[in-house]
Structure 1
Amino acid sequence: MIRLASWIIGSLVIAGIVAWVIALPGTISLDIAGYRMQPRLGTAVALLVLATIIIIAIWALVRRVIGAPKALNRRRNRKRREQGVEALSQAVIALQSGDPARARIMAREAQARLPENSAAKLLEARADLAMGDMSAAREHYRALIANESTAVAALTGLYDQAQAQGRPEAALVFAQKTLTLAPHSAWANQAVFDNFVATRRWAEAVAMVNVEVAGSREEKARKRRRQAVIESARAREMEVSEPNSGLDHALTALKLLPDFIPAALIGARIYINRGESRKAQSLLRRTWRATGHPDVAMLYANSQPGASALDRLKRIGELIEIPPTNCAAAMVMARSAIDAYDWPLARKCLENFLDDDLTQGVASLMGEIEEGQSGDQGKAREWFARAVRAPRDPAWTADGIISDEWEPVSPVTGRLDAFEWKVPTTQTARSTAIEKGTVQTMSELPPPERALPLATTENDQ
């Protein structure tokens, strides 16, 4: 309604102005080619306006005719660009849909219509890589490296190609080149870090972790753990050859993660081999109170080289109450009691864990007790048979592999910090041996075999 009223008012105003101009008094005298005209002033103004309009219309028509070729060229280029963008979109869709052949065709069509578009070239290289045409993909990627805007993307493709071809050295070179161009590239940092871990170049690996920027609490915790794992790995390698340096790395790991069991075990073993049993025992007591890990208790029992089985049993009593409150503590105490031929104590330690909580380790220990205390081979075999069907005990496990000791890297995937202390879920040759009664689990091994590689025990009963 407002628009209609505005249009009516505007029309009236314009009509009034035109009527006023036409009604202006006076005349204009014009002499053209011997002709004299004397129109009224209003008529002359109207004719002037009309002539101006005609001139503008003629000029517009002339400009359109003159500019027609350029306009046609712009229209053709616009249509060509639209077709190129559509071909580029189709190439992306085809590549994501698992049709690299169509993706390559559409990428080439996009290049033909968009010759300066780097994305089309990159898509063709990706399609070549997906089709297994490694030589063509490599040539495309190498051509893209010269362009600063596509260099990182090209190096990423070359890295993927080298990985697919099983050329880890070349892949590492491409990752390192990427870091020089894009220091914050996540995949390149991870690739170089994984190489440092795989080649046990712990100093370079921890240096990379140290410069990581951790914003959130979770990121800071993850960074501390990675640092602790790497420091523990360095301590583990130096435990025998450079014990002093190994101890420093182990203590550094414990500053980062005070309850990190592998670092505590390594540090305690170095203390023991240096004859500093009190420091080892203090460290192990703190770790035991925090974690209750059986390896910590077994090493505590063996913290005095040359101690007898009775001495080891007595020392275990400093950590574990009788009867033990959990299965891990019960197995450690029972193991020490069996070594000391204290059969009643060994049986008492395990009696609360013989029902629903029965595990392979407990059943195997009960078999040893029956065999050693009464010599009843039938009962012993019965316990060993129950061990076959019983749930497993926790062990250091990574990617289906069970290890007697903690390892910093998975032997299957090469992943850092892969080993966890948990109940294994994959059948292994070692568990098959347990079923046959020919081998014991890690927590059941006699203390001299597993706690101190450099120390021996004497005077065992």
Structure 2
Amino acid sequence: MTKIISYAVIVLLVGFGFSWLADRPGVLSIVWQGQLIEMSLMVAASILGGLIATIMIVWWLFNTVWNSPRAAKRYFRARKRDRGYQALSTGLIAAGAGNAILARKMTARTQGLLSADQEPLIHLLEAQADLIEGKYDAARRKFEAMAQDPETRELGLRGLYMEARRQGANEAALEYAEDAARNAPYLPWAAQATLESKSRNGEWDDAIRLLDQQKAAGVIDRGEAERLKAVLLTAKAEEKFESDPKAAREDAKQALKLSKDLVPAALVAARSYLREDNLRKAASVLEPVWKNAPHPQVAQLYVRARSGDTATDRLKRAERLESLKPNNVESLIAVAQAALDAKEFGRARAKAEAAARMEPRESIFLLMADIEEAETGDQGRIRHWMAQALRAPRDHAWVADGIVSEKWLPASPVTGRLDAFEWKMPFGHVEGPIEEMSVDQALSSLPDLAKPEIREKIIEVPVAVRETPVAPVQSPVKDDPSMGAKKAIVEPASTVKDQQRAAQKTPEPVPFFGGLPDDPGVKKANAEPDEKTRLKLF
């Protein structure tokens, strides 16, 4: 476009010049070798222009002929280079598609057409062909050679990093990534791997510094960078909470400025204030987070902020959370639990039922079972709510890459990815409960309250037994043939009375284990061993 405009301007200027000369006619006289030459000024200008054009054409022809061998050489060289780049492009595409035969063929053709010193991509094509053919050692040597060249250093380190990851040499892979990130923090793969490594080792300050470099280089978005920095600050605060609560609180507050809904940061800051018995500031930290993202751990810490509070005081604090976030499941559960502790069973039951209608899940039905046990103690109704809990969806938990953790962690223990844990339902229960259910059906099928069982108890009253006089017992009369008469033989009365007393006498109790404890200093009367005792002795 610039050349066209320049050409048009030159033509206009020449035309303007000739027009100016035509408006001002004159005669030009030249005396050369005794001869007078006269002509008009317009003819002289035309001859001069033609002469200049002729000189330029002659010079162009001379220059073309003079430089034709070099031009021909340059033409064939460019053609050869174009063919080489075409072969290189075809080889790279074949390597990406996994065609080892074509990739190796194009590699040989590229090497014949291009010089490896002029085109570093030839080394990459060779390394890719070796990888496809399974020649990993040869490919690693190619990448090492590329890492020594300043022009292909980053590409070589990338190849070495990928090969180390493939072989499971994580430490070597991290070394390559750190080497690349040290000189080029703008490389996403190197910075991400180094960031995960430093996070896994607890080097929070270095990780934050590297993240700031990534943000300045524009590798990562501002919002994502602030979120990851908040996660790193929270992890740093949790690590030094026990040794330096004030410094941990400052880091946690800075994390909350970057990410207002980061629950672990709010918990660390609130616990730090509670150690100083500053309940007001702890509440000022927890309440904004509760408004943005209600969480059961926030509710538990807020309600039980002081150990000396009564159950009524905890109920009031739970009501405060409900006023901040009304019509929320977590608010209803917090009030129901506090009402149960305060023995307000009707209110606890109403809040628990409302929470179950809003989002039925396991912990709510277990809470209703606790309410039933504390209020009625009816085992049938308790078992009913326990059965509902078994069929209900599971509670939310900290989940990352299929791992369920009891507490929040800054990075995934599987992949090392930062900010991987989310508060959600575990993966195995996402599809829903075992059996479809509704709270209204559970309430309608609730067993009636059992009536208290009245048991009869028989009380034995000892009655005194009076002795009844017994008449003398006469023996039967026997016939004595020698006397010829009947004679009554009567037993003595004292003998009969002795027999009655022996019959009425209470037997002496026998110990359960077969006898009184043995005392070596006391001898028993008639201590003659029976048959079983003799067998034991011998």
Quick check: TM above 0.5? yes
Q: Which residue identity is paired with 2:223?
A: A
The 5 A counterparts of 1:254-269 are 254-269=256-271
SS for the counterpart of 2:354 is helix
Q: Distance in 1 between matches of 2:339 and 2:381?
A: 19
Residues 1:87 and 2:87 are matched in the alignment: yes
What CA distance in whole angstroms lies between the structure 2 residues aligned with 1:159 and 1:400?
26
Aligned to 1:97: 97
Counterpart in the other structure of 2:315? 313
Which position in structure 2 is the counterpart of 1:14? Answer: none
- Per-residue CA distance 1:230-265 (angstroms, 9 max, x = gap): 111111111112212211111111222334221111
Match of 1:239, SS state, is: coil
Residue pair 2:333, 2:355 contacting (<8 A) in 1 also: no
Distance 1:232 1:72, change over 3 A: closer
Identity percentage of aligned residues? 38
**Displacement, 1:352?**
2.1
Q: Contact 1:323 / 1:349 at 8 angstroms: preserved in 2?
A: no
Query: What displacement does 1:75 show?
Result: 8.1
User: TM-score if structure 2 supplies the norm length?
Assistant: 0.61
Say if 1:284 and 1:354 are closer, same or farther in 2 by CA, change over 3 A: closer
Of stretches 222-231 and 86-95 in structure 1, the one that deviates more from structure 2 is: 86-95
**CA distance in 2: counterparts of 1:212 and 1:423, whole angstroms:** 33
Residue 321 of structure 1: how far off its partner (Å): 4.7
Residues 57-136 of structure 1 aligned to structure 2 (within 5 Å): 81-116=81-116, 117-136=119-138
**Equivalent residue in structure 2 for 1:152, among 151, 154, 158:** 154
Runs of 4+ that moved beyond 6 A: 70-76
Tell me the residue number matched to 2:353: 351
- Tell me if 1:380 matches 2:379: no
Partner of 1:275: 277
Match of 1:188 among 180, 187, 190: 190
Matched to 1:108, the amino acid is: A
* Equivalent in the alignment of 2:168: 166
> Residue 360 of structure 1: CA displacement?
1.9
Q: CA deviation at 1:187?
A: 1.9
Q: Shift of the alpha carbon at 1:71? A: 9.8
1:74–1:210 CA distance, 2 compared to 1 (3 A): closer
> How far apart, in 2, do the equivalents of 1:189 and 1:205 lie?
10
Distance in 2, matches of 1:368 and 1:316, equals: 18
Describe the shift of the 1:73–1:282 C-alpha distance in structure 2 as closer, same or farther (beyond 3 A): closer
C-alpha distance in 2, partners of 1:181/1:270?
A: 40
> Higher RCO, 1 or 2 (CA under 8 Å, sep at least 6)?
1
Secondary structure, aligned partner of 1:188: helix
Which structure dedicates a bigger proportion of its chain to helix? 1
TM-score (norm 1): 0.71
Q: How many residues align?
A: 368
Q: Distance in 1 between matches of 2:362 and 2:166?
A: 43
Give 2:367's aligned residue: 365
Is 1:242 the counterpart of 2:244? The answer is yes
Residue type at the aligned position of 1:407: L
Q: Deviations over 1:31-65 (max 9, x none)?
A: xxxxxxxxxxxxxxxxxxxxxxxxx9xxx8xx99x
- Secondary structure in structure 2 of the residue aligned to 1:412: coil
Give the distance between the partners of 2:171 and 2:361, measured in 1 at CA. Answer: 46
Q: 2:404 corresponds to which letter in structure 1?
A: I
Instruction: Tell me: CA distance 1:100–1:371, structure 2 relative to 1, closer, same or farther (3 Å).
Output: farther
Q: Secondary structure at the match of 2:191?
A: helix
- Does the CA-based 8 Å contact 1:214-1:220 persist in structure 2? no
Q: Which position in structure 2 is the counterpart of 1:440?
A: none
Contact 2:100/2:132 (<8 A) preserved: yes
Change (3 A) 1:176 1:322: closer
Runs (5+) with no aligned partner, structure 1: 1-55, 433-461
The alignment yields a C-alpha RMSD, in angstroms, of: 3.4
Once residues 130 and 167 of structure 1 are traced to their aligned partners in structure 2, the CA distance between those partners, rounded to angstroms, is: 20
Which protein shows a greater Rg?
2
Q: What do residues 270-321 of structure 1 show as CA deviations (whole Å, max 9, x unaligned)?
A: 2212332332123223332343333212101111134344442333233325
Instruction: Note the C-alpha offset of 1:215.
Output: 9.7
